[in-house]
Structure 1
Amino acid sequence: MALFSVAVISRGLTALLGLFVASLAYRGYRRNGSAKMRALAVGIGLLTAGVFTAVAIADVAGAGDGIVLLARGVVTVAGLSVVLYALVAE
């Protein structure tokens, strides 16, 4: 199996597991109406599936390694910012 295939499979599994965790947080939001749980669901979704999607789109578009890393970094910072908001918001 090629190294590229292993990387894609690994990123895909991470995205799927992250979406599962995000869906659990979203269910918690729906059950309790907590805006913090909604923010946590969005943050986890961005950190996992968002990064996977950003990297996949950049790869398909033929972007260079720098652009791929930039896209990944931007989405990661956005996801972490939303998770931080979920943790410290009143």
Structure 2
Amino acid sequence: MLGANTVLLVAAKTVTLCCGAVLTTMTYRAYRRTNAPAMRALWIGIGLVTAGAILAGTLHQVIGIPVTVSVTIESLFTAAGFLVLTYSLYTEGPEAQ
């Protein structure tokens, strides 16, 4: 039987997956529409944060990797995602045509 903490963790990861998938899809479409380097970086950054959260939850719940290892993996993806998101704020806009 699942404990309350496990149910809460799975619920949080599910919300993260749903919202992250929507945000990643929307920013990808915006990138395709504008071809702006900032949008590409935004899309990749949000995708990394989302992927890290889901990967960590999957590794812990399905494969049985210890929480400390899965949280470390999630933190690495989150840090990389935020670095890319920060980069997106400093990139140039699309080239003038």
TM-score category by the smaller chain?
0.7 to 0.9
Q: CA deviation at 1:34?
A: 0.8
Query: What displacement does 1:33 show?
Result: 0.7
Distance in 2 separating the partners of 1:56 and 1:17: 17
Higher helix share: 1
Q: 1:33 to 1:40 in 2, by over 3 A?
A: same
Q: Separation in 2 of the partners of 1:35 and 1:52?
A: 26
Contact 1:54 1:75 in 2 (8 A): no
Structure 2 counterpart of 1:13: 15
TM-score w.r.t. length of structure 1: 0.84
The unaligned stretches of length 5 or more in structure 2 are 93-97
Which amino acid counterpart does residue 83 of structure 2 have in structure 1? S
> Alpha-carbon deviations, 1:19-69, whole Å to 9, x = none?
101111111111111121011011112112332123312443322222112
What is the TM-score when the length of structure 2 is the normalising length? 0.79
Q: Secondary structure at the match of 1:63?
A: coil
Paired AA for residue 19 in structure 1: A
Larger radius of gyration: 2
SS at match of 1:42: helix
Counterpart check, 1:39 vs 2:36: no
The answer to whether the 8 Å contact 1:59/1:68 transfers is no
Equivalent residues, number: 90
Instruction: Determine the structure 1 residue equivalent to 2:95.
Output: none
Q: Give 5+ residue unaligned stretches, structure 1.
A: none
What is residue 74 of structure 2 aligned with on the other side?
Answer: 72
Percent identity reads 32
Residues in 2 aligned to 1:80 and 1:33: alpha-carbon distance in whole angstroms: 21
- In structure 1, what is the Cα distance between the partners aligned to 2:52 and 2:75? 11
The letter of the residue matching 1:40 is: L
RMSD: 1.8
